[in-house]
Amino acid sequence: MNGKLVIIAGPSGSGKTTIVRHLLGIYPRLAFSISACSRNKREGEMDGEDYYFLSAEQFKDKIEKGEFLEWEQVYPGSYYGTLRSEVERLWQADRDVIFDIDVKGAMNLKKHYPDNSITIFIQPPSLEALQERLSKRKTETPEFFEQRIKKAAEEISYSDQFDKIILNNNLENAYKEAEGLVGLFISK
């Protein structure tokens, strides 16, 4: 039997990860879907906890074998995706699955599970606010930072394809709105 999918997406720096972590603390039935990626680990990240870190070759091999529900080459040479085995593992544990995922990945997951998923887009207050949030991270080179900003503008253009949009201009309000949407959805 399939559980439910709570698919949360938005541009990098929108607050989606913060909101997902909050929801995981509120709803014990939710379990986080760990994505696979081909990028290098950042300081403090753990394989199998933050991501399943694969080489680009390993990632491509899994693509060829049909092991992903969705995947994208998000940046040149950087692949991200959701392994079918990860969702099945969580459903077998009788959990509903929550995702922190890129916009195109969210749309692809919704296509696989249209009847038991909800897509929520986390909207930043503005591109300027997003730039400020990302610059405070100091995790990227200037070139990669520019790529992220361009990608953010593109991702925001997809927001109208989501079931719900949460404007994150006040984190406490965004938490409350997310709690209400997710609580209603998983209780159905």
Tell me the mean pLDDT in the region 131-155.
67
State the residue for tokens 């610059």.
135
CATH number of residue 96's parent domain: 3.40.50.300
pLDDT at position 3 is 93
- The total of structural domains in the chain comes to 1
Of 94, 77, 174, 93, nearest in space to 129 by CA: 174
Prediction pTM value: 0.85
- Between 102 and 56, the more confident residue is 56
Orientation angle between helical segments 127-137 and 142-156, nearest 10 degrees: 150
Question: Cα(first)–Cα(last) distance of the chain, in Å?
Answer: 15
Based on DSSP, count helices (H) and strands (E) in the chain, helices before strands.
7, 9
pLDDT greater than 70 at residue 51: yes
Amino acid at 100: D
Of 39, 7, 5, nearest in space to 20 by CA: 7
Helix (H) / strand (E) element for 178: namely: helix 171-187
Q: Which domain holds residue 10?
A: 5-187
- How confident is residue 136, by pLDDT bands cut at 50, 70 and 90? low
Cα-based distances in Å from 134 to 12, 19, 93, 152, 158: 8, 16, 36, 11, 20
